[in-house]
């Protein structure tokens, strides 16, 4: 779990101050303040950070980095899509909240919290009833099976942190058959074939 707070000059967009804390699993003591890899004071925050979007250049923070909020729910911030952090070597989702300046000038803030989702499963099949609490729903329905003739069947990974595309099989539906592979196709191969356009 990580948390970061940025203080940004509302006129220039440059970073005035930044604090970033991280807590790893069962660490003794409280979270530790990070000094490596944090945004640099006096510069604009890097727009390539998966958890950051500049409110001035992205009105309403409707960025492709963030998941759409349900229409019947109001949030003060936005959830990112899952992304891999090379620094922490984990899959994360972040909740980011812009804090507006009281006026046109002054200091505006940005708060972001990271949540480790490395132990959740990537199920690309339609919504699962097996164990929906350990799956990330944003991946549901992203399989490459041909829905008319085949059905996606989720195949859980052996290692809990083995995130990969294609953890499913495409099985022929009733009335359809294939002369190959007994009508069962490995999702990893289907993903690869789809990626190469074959």
Instruction: From 108, 120, 129, select the one nearest 162 (Cα to Cα).
Output: 120
User: The domain 2-116 is classified under which CATH number: 2.40.128, 2.40.50, 2.20.70, 3.30.450?
Assistant: 3.30.450
Tell me: the pLDDT tens digits for 159-186?
A: 655 577 788 999 999 999 888 878 888 8
Report the distance separating Cα 153 and Cα 186, nearest Å.
Answer: 10
Residues contacting 43, CB < 8 A, separation 6+: 14, 15
State the pTM of this model: 0.67
- Predicted confidence at residue 42, as pLDDT, reads 95
CATH 3.30.450 segments of the chain:
2-116
Give yes or no for a contact between 114 and 93, defined as CB atoms under 8 angstroms apart.
yes
Number of Cβ within a 10 Å radius of residue 145: 23
- Predicted confidence at residue 64, as pLDDT, reads 78
- Predicted confidence at residue 37, as pLDDT, reads 79
Name the token pair of 167. 């953890």
Structure-model confidence comparison of residues 37 and 6, the more confident one: 6
Q: Tell me the mean pLDDT in the region 142-158.
A: 88
């Amino acid at each position: 779990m990580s948390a970061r707070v940025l203080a940004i000059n509302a006129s220039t967009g440059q970073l005035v101050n930044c604090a970033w804390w991280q807590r790893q699993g069962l660490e003794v003591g409280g979270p530790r303040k990070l000094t490596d890899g944090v945004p640099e004071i006096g510069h604009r925050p890097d727009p390539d950070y998966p958890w950051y979007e500049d409110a001035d250049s992205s009105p309403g923070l409707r960025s492709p980095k963030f998941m759409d909020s349900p229409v019947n729910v109001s949030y003060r911030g936005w959830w990112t899509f899952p992304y891999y952090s090379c620094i922490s070597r984990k899959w994360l989702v972040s909740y980011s909240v812009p804090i507006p300046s009281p006026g046109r000038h002054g200091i505006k803030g940005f708060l972001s919290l990271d949540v480790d989702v490395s132990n959740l499963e990537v199920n690309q099949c339609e919504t699962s009833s097996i164990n929906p609490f350990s799956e990330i729903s944003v991946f549901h329905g992203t399989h490459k099976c041909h829905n008319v003739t085949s059905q996606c069947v989720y195949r859980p990974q052996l290692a809990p942190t083995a995130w990969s595309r294609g953890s499913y099989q495409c099985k022929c539906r009733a009335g359809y058959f294939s002369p190959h592979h007994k009508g069962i196709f490995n999702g990893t191969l289907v993903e690869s074939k789809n990626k190469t356009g074959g």
